[in-house]
Chains A and B, each alone.
Chain A
């Protein structure tokens, strides 16, 4: 089961996590947006209020769904692995998958589905190439625990960790173009040292990608 669930850690709209803010920055005002794994709806609410988007959400946790609907957001209970197939192709301008890809059963299929139903996909994930992760394995010989990878191996929903390089490679295989990317460093700030290449794969704790299918440029 894909744990398409996240908590915003922010009490008010307009006061959201840096990675969510980076995602919001990639969304065109007035567009149609589907947030897969929208949690308590913090990002959707931010987008609806600040960017006037037509905001929809899918969330696996019933508590999150009920909280979203009670906030007036159009959210349904569902699972990234099974419920994207119900949507028609090209139904959204942006489909967002934040901190969820690594928890899906079949990340490759989910990625393709995101770009079938959306003209763009915005995907964020914890980077397994982050230096602290590498060091933890090398030095301690233990599975890493960081801010972005916060649960021990025996109870994490994350089953498909990847590095930024791995992800870029998969995008290449699937004919997906990376239009833009940001990294978030260990301090939760937008990464200053290079958004691409070796440095990002080493220094980024998390990464945010704006994707589209090859051959269809522009929004």
Chain B
């Protein structure tokens, strides 16, 4: 596809619905809020086969459909589709763009009805809890009382945990993948590097760039580049790039912002520049902040197990050996809390060198785990096979 315009100038395709107002954790009454979402498959007559897929920080509702800006297949099209692990011949799959994001759901790049101008930094700070309440409003609108499963990786996994804690009766099964019950200091630190990169860009204009007709491309690209390193692993980077040079066998003894010497630099530049074409810088600030605030134990007297007392939900917790952003120890903390309330929990650590992003990639072991868990849970719920 050709040269892309900035995300802010291209309306998102697909479904969206405007609902009531939402009282946020920060105390602000936001709304009426709009939620953009996609659905796949058919809701059965008893309305019992719905799966909510929660996307990660820079994901969107296009889990299994072509992205309207990039033209690329959905971010989880390996996982979601007819006959796939999340089988759309059997399940009704919903994926909605999170609050404060930029693909059609209410967020900082949308127009504030009170002022007629884009929100920018006047948008209220939102939390993972707010995102989940907005999703619950969408389910109410769709007439879905309870979900067969809530499923997601990374920040999507945080939403899964929040769902199970906030709406236990609405969640039959929950699958947090490569997630944590709270954001670690190291992860907050990485996010702050990204935010500072954006805010240091003169084109950011104190968050008012859309009104002023600029785009903080450089800042957002640097934020993405730094973050992208944390999604991979040392082993995977080495396997892909090693110390390979772009210009053959010899270094060039030149330096400049657009003079990548190593293949790995060139790769990161590409990641940065393509990201800018599809994502809003202020959304990045807000969503990273929401992740930083996430601490499920803190909401329950400092004890994570309290978040899941008497939970009827069946859990499947998944981590990856080479994920250093949301390491296995974080998943194990979740599992221990679930054990402490004798919850029904499965826990699988998958051996891979692909790092945090492994949940988005072709990982046969992940597919086997999830399809086994989903089939087992579907049997317990009495869902028909396709």
A interface residues (Cβ-Cβ under 8 A, vs B):
54, 56, 62, 65-66, 68-78, 83, 86-88, 91-92
List of A residues within 8 angstroms of B340 by Cβ: 86-88
Contact indicator B375/A77 (Cβ below 8 Å): no
Contact indicator A77/B348 (Cβ below 8 Å): yes
Residue of B nearest to A69 (CB): B346
Contact indicator A74/B341 (Cβ below 8 Å): no
Residue of A nearest to B347 (CB): A76
List of A residues within 8 angstroms of B351 by Cβ: 62
Q: Can you name 22 A-B residue pairings with CB atoms under 8 Å?
A: A54-B344, A62-B351, A65-B349, A66-B365, A66-B368, A69-B316, A70-B368, A70-B373, A72-B372, A72-B375, A73-B346, A73-B376, A74-B344, A74-B346, A75-B346, A76-B345, A76-B346, A76-B347, A77-B348, A77-B349, A83-B336, A86-B340
Shortest CB-to-CB span from B346 to chain A, Å, is 5
Shortest CB-to-CB span from A170 to chain B, Å, is 26
Contact indicator B344/A69 (Cβ below 8 Å): no
Contact indicator A66/B348 (Cβ below 8 Å): yes
In the complex, which of the residues B341, B342, B372 has the most CB atoms of chain A within 10 Å of its own CB atom?
Answer: B342
CA gap between A75 and B372 in the complex, in Å: 12
What does DSSP make chain A's interface, helix, strand, loop or mixed?
mixed
- Which single member of B341, B365, B376 contacts A72 (CB below 8 Å)? B376
Total contacts A-B at CB 8 Å: 65
Contact indicator B350/A88 (Cβ below 8 Å): no
In the A-B complex, the 6 residue pairs with the closest CB atoms: A72-B376, A70-B372, A76-B347, A91-B342, A86-B339, A70-B368
Shortest CB-to-CB span from A22 to chain B, Å, is 26
CA gap between A70 and B371 in the complex, in Å: 7
- Which single member of A54, A69, A86, A87 contacts B348 (CB below 8 Å)? A69
CA gap between A66 and B372 in the complex, in Å: 9
Against A, the Cβ 8 Å flags (1 = close, 0 = not) of B150-182 are 000000000000000000000000000000000
Contact indicator A62/B346 (Cβ below 8 Å): no
Contact indicator A87/B376 (Cβ below 8 Å): no
CA gap between A153 and B159 in the complex, in Å: 50
List of B residues within 8 angstroms of A70 by Cβ: 368-369, 371-373
Contact indicator A62/B376 (Cβ below 8 Å): no
CA gap between A73 and B344 in the complex, in Å: 10
Answer whether A65 and B347 are a contact pair too, CB < 8 Å, given A70-B372, A72-B372, A73-B376: yes
B205 within 8 A of partner (CB): no
Answer whether A69 and B342 are a contact pair too, CB < 8 Å, given A77-B347, A86-B336: no
List of A residues within 8 angstroms of B67 by Cβ: none
Contact indicator B372/A71 (Cβ below 8 Å): yes
Residue of A nearest to B315 (CB): A74
Residue of A nearest to B378 (CB): A72
CA gap between A65 and B347 in the complex, in Å: 8
Against A, the Cβ 8 Å flags (1 = close, 0 = not) of B122-160 are 000000000000000000000000000000000000000
Q: In chain B between 220 and 238, which residues have their CB closer than 8 angstroms to a CB of chain A? A: none
In the complex, which of the residues A54, A62, A78, A86 has the most CB atoms of chain B within 10 Å of its own CB atom?
Answer: A86
Q: In chain B between 317 and 360, which residues have their CB closer than 8 angstroms to a CB of chain A? A: 317, 335-336, 339-342, 344-351
